[in-house]
């Protein structure tokens, strides 16, 4: 006989808390198992960037790697890398001090570059470029796989279609063209390592809460420490880590605090290391508009433009075209607070914050995606601290992780009531369309990142008002002009260089743009126009007296005047020859070779007293100048015959 017991009535205020709710059973939209999805993601992310393996250095690669004395020291340079600003080597070569607010302490990628240099060296066949690009691509593939693992096995595990949402979000992130700068530009390895290690930190910290194994805790702390050394984004985990614990594991504040405490200890250690390396100099007031892009803006314009940039970031996540390597002054004009796009952006981000708080109050995992996007973006927004730039495609890399999650979740919310076949058709169709469209753009953009010539000569046609792009394009056209095989092509290329350099100088407005003035001198020098070259190089010397090797420019300029003098001498135009040599002596008065030839010009023209004085000066500068001694000796019999 059945033992019938009365059903107990629920007691008010004593609702049972159900822990570890299993995922809702639904038929997967993407009919692949977990391992197959990993394989697909690995293949996609590698293929999309395989054509970057043949690239050389571009943009800041030279500063951070090729011309970084600490990286070039290999293993022996690691100590300096760990204890100095990331740009310390560059600052020393330029005879300048720290120019960027807060300094830059990102030693992890530079240590890797130093190790690569110690093992492989730097060669003329670009083998090291292939190796470094391959390492960046492989790190990107690893980042994609770890990202998918974190989303599917932790963050979105217990929501309907969690693995499908994770898969689509990771595909979208992996193939997004805005990430080309991060992968194709070797210097941006710091971005990849940062996000990879942040995701690993989340994984091991959550794993430790489940397993209580010291190994998982140790791995989590190591990953967090390395993520901090990769780039500053990891400081956001001071808030995001306890948030993840709250969303995915426990509501108890004591438990959250105890599990977060070891990571705060790591953060303190990092901050001490950072302080000793770069200090806490806060805001560096720069009078150079390329380091301080809002120098000419009013406070209202500065704030409005900063908000506008946040809106542009959002737009580029939806429409990543066109892409350029520089958004500095004056690529994007200053905005007014009344600009409708500025107002819309402000309202959007206010709504995002409110929405994130509501999601957090409901312990909805999407709160993580919202705040990951917002916190990472805040660090590069200029609203928290000036970063010395308006925006950059690499700077949205971390935030796009949160965006990809939200976009994928939104898609599956729209189709959740559809039949399975319709869901699969849309998911597969959209994925294939993105792969084709984004794939074409990404691969084409990778090739534009081949080197500085391909990058800047392309980007200047889009960012026509950028000082930096015009200046860099001008410099690269000089490189092309120097390699030209015929005089007509060389002349036309150098004139094109001057066109872009003049525009960069015009756009600068604030003061002389040193690099463009220097390159203008180079262009005119290549055109055999030393008078014009002299004007621009003297401007460099006046504005930047400590510019490295500036005297070398005047040395070669003096020799070009000498070359012109020789040409006039061959035509027996000794007055013109003497005039050109004097110009050379004016720019480089300690060049013994110029004084010797001046004596020769005077001697040939019959001005023996001036020849004597010129050769005398030659021997004062170079007592071993044999030809000047012979000239002096030849003057004695000449004078006796007079």
Q: Where among 278, 302, 334 does a domain terminate?
A: 278
More confident residue, 142 or 632: 142
413 within some domain:
no
pLDDT on residue 527: 94
Q: Is residue 477 part of a domain?
A: no
For position 601, which CATH number holds?
1.25.40.10
* pLDDT the model gives residue 283: 54
Across 484-492, average pLDDT: 92
Q: What's the whole-number average pLDDT of the chain?
A: 89
Domain that holds residue 262: 186-278
Stretch 503-515: mean pLDDT, rounded? 79
pLDDT tens figures, 335-382: 999 999 999 999 999 999 999 999 999 999 999 999 999 999 999 999
Alpha carbons 271 and 577: distance in angstroms, whole number = 64
What confidence score (pLDDT) does residue 13 get? 43
Rounded CA gap, 364 and 362, in Å? Answer: 5
Tokens of 369: 């995606």
Residue 296 confidence (pLDDT): 87
Structure tokens at 582: 């004097």
CA distance 634 to 628: 10
| Lowest mean pLDDT across 33-37, 144-148, 311-315, 581-585 | 581-585
- From residue 173, give the alpha-carbon distance in Å to each of 68, 220, 357, 362: 32, 24, 25, 27
Average pLDDT, integer, range 32-53? 95
Per the model's pLDDT, the better-predicted residue between 408 and 277 turns out to be 408
Residue 101: the pLDDT is: 61
- pLDDT bin (cut points 50, 70, 90) of residue 15 is very low
So what's the pLDDT on residue 18?
Answer: 39
Q: What is the pLDDT of residues 211-245, one digit of tens each?
A: 999 999 999 999 999 999 999 999 999 999 999 99
The confidence score (pLDDT) of residue 66 equals: 81
Give the SS3 label for residue 19.
coil
Token pair listed for 189: 């390895």
Residue 125 has pLDDT above 60, yes or no: no
DSSP for 422-478, please give it: HHHHHHHHHHHHHHHHHHHHHHHHHHHTSSHHHHHHHHTTTSTT-HHHHHHHHHHHH
Which of 18-22, 134-138, 401-405 has the lowest average pLDDT?
A: 18-22
Higher-pLDDT residue of 6, 87: 87
Cβ pair 53, 137 in contact under 8 A: yes
The 3-class secondary structure across 544-564, one letter per residue, is CCCCCCHHHHHHHHHHHHHHH
Greater confidence, 593 or 91? Answer: 593
Whose tokens are 């999601």? That residue is 359
Tell whether the model's pLDDT for residue 52 goes beyond 70. yes
Percent of the chain with pLDDT over 70: 91
Determine the Cα angle at 611 with ends 610 and 614, to 5°.
85
Above pLDDT 90, what percent of the chain? 62
Residue 8: its pLDDT value, please? 46
Q: Is the dihedral of CA 523, 529, 532, 537 positive or negative?
A: positive
Residue 615 lies in a domain: yes
| Residue 271 burial (C-beta neighbours within 10 Å; 0-12, 13-18, 19+) | middle
DSSP structure string for 43-105: HHHHHTTGGGTT----TTHIIIIIT-HHHHTGGGGHHHHHHS-TTHHHHHHTT----STT---
- Cβ proximity of 181 and 393 under 8 Å: yes
Inter-axis angle of helices 34-47 and 127-150, nearest 10:
150
Per residue in 168-195, pLDDT (tens digit) is 999 999 999 999 999 999 999 999 999 9
**Distance from the Cα of residue 30 to its chain's centroid:** 36
The answer to whether residue 231 is domain-embedded is yes
Whether the per-residue pLDDT at 23 is higher than 90: the answer is no
Residue 250: left (phi > 0), alpha (psi -120 to 50), or beta?
Answer: beta
pLDDT at residue 639, rounded to an integer: 55
List alpha helices for 296-419, DSSP H: 299-318, 340-361, 366-379, 399-415
Q: Is residue 243 part of a domain?
A: yes
For the question of whether the overall pTM of this predicted structure is more than 0.75, the answer is yes
What is the dihedral angle through the alpha carbons of 293, 296, 299, 305, rounded to the nearest 10 degrees? -50
Cβ(145)–Cβ(38) below 8 Å? yes
| CA-closest candidate to residue 64, choices 87, 45, 43, 83 | 87
Q: Rounded CA gap, 131 and 165, in Å?
A: 34
Tell me the per-residue pLDDT of 250-270, one tens digit each, with 9 for 90 and over. 889 999 999 999 999 999 999
Contact 557, 537 (CB under 8 A): yes
pLDDT at 574: 83
The structure tokens 């499908």 sit at 164
Mean pLDDT lowest for which of 110-124, 147-161, 254-268? 110-124
Q: Please report the pLDDT score of residue 511 as a whole number.
A: 56
Query: Where does a domain end: 262, 278, 294?
Result: 278
**pLDDT in the model for residue 282:** 55
Give the domain-ending residue among 242, 262, 278.
Answer: 278
What is the structure's pLDDT at 24?
A: 54
Q: What is the DSSP string of 487-519?
A: HHHHHHHHHHHHHHHHHHHHHH-SS--HHHHHH
Residue 95 lies in a domain: no
pLDDT of the residue at 10: 46
Token duo for residue 537: 């190089």
- Region 415-430 average pLDDT: 89
Q: CB-based contacts of 442: which residues, under 8 Å, 6+ apart?
A: 48, 49, 175, 176, 177, 179, 180
Residue 619 inside a domain? The answer is: yes
Across the range 188-214, mean pLDDT stands at 96
Structural domains counted in the chain: 2
Query: Would the pLDDT of 98 be above 80?
Result: no
For tokens 């390396």, the residue is 277
Alpha-carbon radius of gyration of the chain: 32
Whether residue 419 is contained in a domain is answered as no
Asked if the bond preceding 330 is cis, omega within 30° of 0, the reply is yes
Least confident of 389-403, 446-460, 531-545: 531-545
């Amino acid at each position: 006989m059945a033992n019938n017991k009365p059903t107990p009535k629920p007691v008010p205020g004593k609702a049972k808390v159900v822990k570890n709710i299993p995922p809702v059973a639904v038929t997967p939209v993407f009919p692949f198992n977990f391992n197959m999805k990993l394989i697909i993601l690995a293949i996609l992310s590698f293929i999309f960037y395989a054509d970057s393996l043949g690239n050389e250095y571009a943009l800041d690669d030279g500063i951070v790697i090729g011309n970084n004395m600490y990286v070039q020291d290999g293993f022996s340079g690691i100590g300096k890398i760990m204890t100095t600003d990331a740009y310390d080597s560059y600052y020393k070569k330029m005879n300048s001090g720290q120019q960027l607010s807060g300094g830059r302490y990102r030693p992890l990628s530079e240590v890797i570059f130093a190790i690569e240099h110690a093992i492989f060296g730097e060669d003329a066949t670009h083998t090291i470029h292939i190796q470094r690009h391959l390492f960046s691509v492989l790190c990107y593939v690893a980042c994609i796989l770890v990202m998918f693992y974190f989303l599917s096995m932790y963050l979105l595990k217990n929501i309907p279609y969690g693995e499908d949402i994770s898969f689509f979000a990771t595909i979208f992130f992996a193939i997004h063209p805005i990430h080309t700068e991060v992968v194709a530009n070797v210097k941006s390895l710091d971005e990849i390592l940062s996000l990879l290690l942040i995701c690993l930190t989340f994984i091991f910290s959550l794993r430790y809460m489940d397993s209580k194994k010291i190994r998982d805790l140790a791995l989590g702390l190591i990953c967090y420490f390395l993520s901090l050394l990769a780039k500053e984004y990891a400081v956001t985990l001071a808030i995001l880590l306890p948030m993840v614990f709250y969303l995915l594991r426990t509501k108890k504040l004591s438990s959250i605090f105890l599990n977060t405490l070891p990571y705060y200890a790591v953060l303190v250690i990092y901050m001490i290391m950072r302080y000793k390396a770069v200090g806490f100099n806060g805001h560096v007031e720069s009078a150079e508009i390329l380091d301080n892009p809002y120098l000419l803006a009013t406070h209202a314009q500065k704030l409005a433009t900063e908000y506008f940039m946040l809106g542009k970031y959002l737009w580029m996540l939806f429409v990543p075209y066109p892409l350029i390597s520089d958004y500095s002054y004056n690529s994007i004009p200053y905005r007014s607070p009344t600009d409708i796009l500025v107002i819309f952006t402000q309202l959007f981000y206010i709504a995002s914050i409110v929405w994130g708080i509501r999601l957090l109050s409901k312990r909805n995992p999407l709160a993580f995606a919202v705040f990951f996007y917002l916190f990472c973006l805040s660090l590069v927004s200029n609203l928290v601290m000036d970063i010395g730039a308006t925006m950059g495609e690499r700077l949205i890399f971390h935030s796009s992780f949160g965006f990809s999650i939200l976009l994928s979740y939104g898609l599956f919310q729209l189709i959740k009531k559809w039949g399975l076949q319709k869901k699969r058709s849309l998911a597969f169709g959209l994925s294939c369309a993105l792969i084709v469209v984004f794939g074409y753009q990404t691969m084409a953009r990778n090739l534009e990142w081949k080197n500085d010539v391909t990058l800047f000569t392309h980007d200047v046609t889009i960012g026509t008002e950028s000082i930096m792009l015009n200046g860099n394009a001008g410099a690269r056209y000089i490189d092309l002009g120097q390699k030209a095989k015929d005089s007509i092509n060389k002349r036309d290329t150098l004139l094109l260089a001057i066109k872009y350099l003049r525009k960069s100088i015009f756009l600068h407005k604030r003061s002389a743009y040193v690099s463009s003035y220097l390159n203008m001198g180079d262009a005119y020098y290549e055109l055999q126009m030393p008078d014009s070259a002299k004007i621009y190089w003297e401007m460099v010397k006046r504005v930047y007296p400590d510019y490295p090797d500036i005297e070398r420019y005047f040395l070669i300029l003096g020799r070009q005047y000498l070359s012109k003098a020789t040409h006039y001498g061959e035509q027996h135009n000794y007055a013109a020859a003497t005039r050109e040599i004097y110009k050379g002596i004016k720019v480089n008065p300690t060049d013994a070779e110029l004084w010797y030839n001046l004596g020769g010009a005077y001697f040939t023209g019959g001005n023996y007293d001036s020849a004597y004085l010129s050769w005398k000066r030659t021997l004062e500068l170079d007592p071993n100048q044999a030809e000047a001694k012979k000239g002096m000796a030849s003057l004695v019999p000449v004078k006796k015959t007079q």
